[in-house]
A = this chain, B = another copy of it.
Amino acid sequence: MKKHKVIFQPSGRRGEVEEGKTLLEAAQALGVDIEGLCGNKKVCGKCKVRIEEGYFEKDNIDSGMAHLSPLGEDEIKHIKPEDGPGIRLSCSAEVRGDVKVFVPERSRAGKQVVRKAAKELSIALDPAVKKYNIDLEAPTLHDMTTGDYERVLKFLEDDYGLKGLTFDFMVLKYLQDVLRVGEWKATVTVWMDKEIIKVEPGFIDATYGLAVDIGTTTCVGYLTDLTTGKVVNTESMMNPQVPYGEDVMSRITYAMTNDEGLETMHKAIIQGLNEVIEKVVSEIIKDCPTPGFAIDDLTIVFNTAMHHIFLGMNPIYIGRSPFIPAVQNSLDIKARDIGLKINPSAYIHVLPIEAGFVGADNVGVLIAEEQYNQDEMVLVIDIGTNGELLLGNRDRVCSTSCATGPAFEGAQIKFGMRAAPGAIEIVLIDPETKDPKYKVIGKSDWHSDLKKIDAKGICGSAIIDVVAEMFKAGIIDKSGRFAKDLDTPRVRKDSDSRPEYVLAWANETSINTDITITQGDVRALQLAKGALYAGAKLMMKKLGVTKLDRVILAGAFGSHINREASITLGMFPDCPIDMVYAVGNAAGDGARMALLNRDKRIEANEKARWVEFIEIATDPTFEKEFMQAMHIPHMKDKFPHLKELLAKSGSKIEIKG
């Protein structure tokens, strides 16, 4: 039987599929979630996918027809012009050649479990945007030379002490109508005590802001009530730029090698964020024709490449020496200028960046964790598609970035998947039998206690768990190699004769395939954690630090990370386990703080300039550190006190050699 290569985006899942299988069957075989309400009856039209351009020969792939069965009649009636080019129903299109398929978010089954959930922040409430109620006297012929603009300004000065305000032009356009509709009672929204960015009829209190964290892989928006500081809704999505490159460098390359590359990725993120905006507001404010207009302030963090692409700036200069960014400082940009569908007169506050490799997201972490206000020597690790490190205390803080690859986010892991129902999220392995116990998202019991478990894959944080458990169970050694001659069917050779560990048998899954951890998966994790460890080690050397007082794990799944597993693997240098904290999405926390307190914005600019960027990739000792750090247990060699600590903390981790 002839087989063809099929790749699904944005998950990156790929495999050989028999000719004649539908894309939906291929997706199911590869563990890709595609919605299919009607059960392959070609009726619901929910399983639309887009055949991606540019992967194979351009001429054949434009319509995606060359390597797929022709469009069927049942299919055509579901495909609308607004779907854009290259759309097929995955239950209908049959594989006839190699093909790369993008599964749009709306066709993906199950709602992603938001791992970037918002924690409560402790910060004084002083947002950049505030609302003021005004109650004007109706004008008469006796004061006919005074404009409405001047009446509003006078009231704000007399009653609230606000001087020298200006009006955004767009607000001025409808000012007269609004004042008269509200019978001279109105609510004025003021940005930074400087500019009027909204006037609404009547008295209104509710004020909304959105804190946004654009990750390389995941984007999240926290809708915040600026009068209480509470997050009232959270919405996340895959970064719609993923099809153009799974990491930062490949997106920069995409921008360099495609004439419309920058524009395409820029539009993708703006459009994607607009979808988040609409969703996050419309779940809270019902029946509003333009829900996003309720948002009067927006803060945003991202790495430097995402920052440049979001702003429509060419990212090529941060991709090549001397890696100069367009701008370091924070920016305030009119929402309408960037095309975000919030209040068009509102400003987008873009947090400052540190350097070409360390972006506003790291500044977010910095102002959330405030190492600069502490005496203790703190290492903050922000784990995403890139790993970013901050080390220091009130005297000095250094930052750097390590290319960890997307392993920590589950990408490029054979059965890695996003944190959605069916994803294995907790794993324990019995050192004797080598049998695992695991839990999947959406089910509270261990798999062994459930009749039907329907596992689909492994989510990012569980990769760390499972590799640590494999090590503890003696399945892999400290170099990451699989042990030989283990008496278990779970360790076996894959089709390339490379060893793998079966975490879930096919009958426990919804994808009818054994879910395995391959030698490649273990290597990807070793590379990722080795980069982090070596980066931290070099920073300590530069700062003359020998001992960490605290380690903070932040990132997309920061709050879900198992700190014991992270120590077992050796993700960072020596630190007492009870001084290792998982704080969740600290970059997002920073964006939220800048939303809630305008002084935080000033602090961010000051500290972004103050923090010292350290370039570790060019350090001649990095390679050596990195190679050493690839090994798994640093514990016994380097942390003689760890065993006691682990015992004290009640951990069941056993130290192996």
Contacts and interface: CB of A to CB of B under 8 A. Distances in A.
A172 B337 contact: no
A150 B354 CA distance: 12
Contact of A327 (B143, B172, B323, B337): B172
Interface string A328-347: 11010110111000000000
Interface string A139-152: 11101111111100
A170 B356 contact: no
A613 B145 contact: yes
Nearest to A312: B173
Nearest to A613: B145
A147 B360 CA distance: 13
Given A140-B322, A322-B140, A329 B149 contact: yes
A437 to B, nearest CB: 48
Interface stretch (A62-70, A97-105, A313-321): A313-321
Nearest to A167: B327
A352 to B, nearest CB: 9
B176 A324 contact: yes
B327 A170 contact: no
Contacts of A145: 328, 354-356, 613
A390 interface: no
A497 to B, nearest CB: 45
Nearest to A333: B169
A256 interface: no
A173 B338 CA distance: 11
A150 B317 contact: no
B177 A314 contact: yes
A612 to B, nearest CB: 8
Contacts of A175: 313, 326-327
Interface in A347-372: 353-356
B356 A144 contact: yes
Contacts of A334: 169
A499 interface: no
Contacts of A337: 169-170, 336
A139 B313 CA distance: 18
Contacts of A314: 174, 176-177
A311 interface: yes
Contacts of A10: none
Contacts of A338: 169
A328 B146 contact: yes
Contact of A326 (B140, B172, B311, B325): B172
- Which residue, of A180, A322, A326, A328, has the highest number of chain B Cβ atoms within 10 A? A326
A114 B139 CA distance: 41
Given A169-B334, A170-B337, A173-B313, A327 B147 contact: yes
Contact of A324 (B139, B173, B333, B355): B139
B326 A148 contact: yes
B139 A172 contact: no
A180 B324 CA distance: 12
Contact of A313 (B143, B144, B172, B311): B172
Given A170-B337, A331-B169, A323 B144 contact: yes
Nearest to A344: B337
Nearest to A608: B145
A139 B355 CA distance: 13
A324 B175 CA distance: 12
A170 to B, nearest CB: 7
A176 B144 contact: no
A149 to B, nearest CB: 4
A180 B316 CA distance: 12
Contacts of A324: 139, 144, 146-148, 176
B331 A172 contact: yes
Contacts of A149: 326-329
Nearest to A175: B326
A325 B355 contact: no
Nearest to A170: B337
A223 to B, nearest CB: 24
A150 B175 CA distance: 37
B326 A139 contact: no
A146 to B, nearest CB: 7
Contacts of A174: 314
Nearest to A313: B173
Contacts of A147: 324-329, 353
Contacts of A169: 311, 331, 333-334, 337-338
A27 to B, nearest CB: 39
Contacts of A327: 147-150, 167, 172, 175
A356 B145 CA distance: 7
A311 B148 contact: no
Contacts of A150: 327-329
Contacts of A354: 145
Query: Top 5 nearest A-B pairs by Cβ distance?
Result: A149-B327, A147-B328, A145-B355, A147-B327, A141-B322
Given A144-B322, A169-B334, 14 more contacts: A144-B323, A144-B324, A144-B613, A145-B354, A145-B613, A146-B328, A147-B324, A148-B317, A167-B327, A169-B311, A169-B331, A175-B327, A176-B313, A176-B326
16 contacts: A139-B322, A141-B615, A143-B322, A144-B322, A144-B323, A146-B328, A147-B327, A148-B317, A148-B325, A149-B329, A169-B331, A169-B334, A169-B337, A170-B337, A173-B312, A180-B317
Interface of A: 139-141, 143-150, 167, 169-170, 172-177, 180, 311-314, 317, 321-329, 331, 333-334, 336-338, 353-356, 613, 615
